[in-house]
Amino acid sequence: MTEPATKRHLRAVAVFCGSNTGAGSTFTDAAAGLGRALAQAGIGIVYGGTHKGLMGVLADAALAEGGMVHGVITQRLFDKDHLHPGLSLHEVVEGMGARKARMLGLADACIALPGGIGTTEEFMEAWTLNQLGDIDKPVGLLNVAGFYDSFMGFVDTMIANRFLPEQHRDGIVVEADPSCLIDRLRHFTKPVVPKWM
């Protein structure tokens, strides 16, 4: 069962991504492509505020296209001079919990690029809050070079073992192309089934 389809107005998207660049140019090219696509679509970016890794690549590409990039950085990382110097806006918060809450508060949807455990944790929290009905902000994975294939396989294992209703798999939009991902998030229809089986 799904809600009636309506086009969502995406003013800003929270992007979770690696503070490292990953192997080769595949991931940096994808981060730059997403930054450009969001800026060209007139959608602002909310992210972790640093110049490091894919986070910096994403911000640089969006800013070069005239996009709005709002950084939310922790005090600890700010004190280490990790703040991107060219952001449209930035704010410093006490810790990671406050950063995640603020990013979700500013965003209308969430996208995860490839990254490590922090990226995964941020994405999972957003998906969980959607599943519980605490927020209604669609989440998507930019599946660069099949990066998230095994993750979605793990989701299928949860479903097969009856820890997750099958329909909740549709609570994640998975696309390899940034423009397709943005379009699907705009037209996202939330699955409406009980969490409990």
Instruction: Tell me the DSSP string of 67-124.
Output: --EEEEEEHHHHHTT-B-TT-SEEEEESSHHHHHHHHHHH-SEEEE-S--HHHHHHHH
pTM of the model: 0.94
Looking at domain 12-96+115-186, which of 3.40.50.450, 3.40.720.10, 3.40.50.920, 2.60.40.10 is its CATH number? 3.40.50.450
pLDDT value of residue 6: 76
CA distances from 91 to 14, 44, 100, 139, 195 (A): 15, 15, 13, 23, 35
Instruction: Decide if pLDDT at 69 tops 60.
Output: yes
Instruction: Decide if pLDDT at 102 tops 80.
Output: yes
Give the residue-averaged pLDDT of 127-141: 95
pLDDT value of residue 5: 57
CA R_g for the chain: 16
Backbone angles phi, psi at 21, to 5 degrees: -90, -15
3-state secondary structure of 19: coil
Give the residue-averaged pLDDT of 112-133: 96
For the chain, give the mean pLDDT: 95
Confidence of residue 192 (pLDDT cuts 50, 70, 90): confident
Instruction: Decide if pLDDT at 2 tops 60.
Output: no
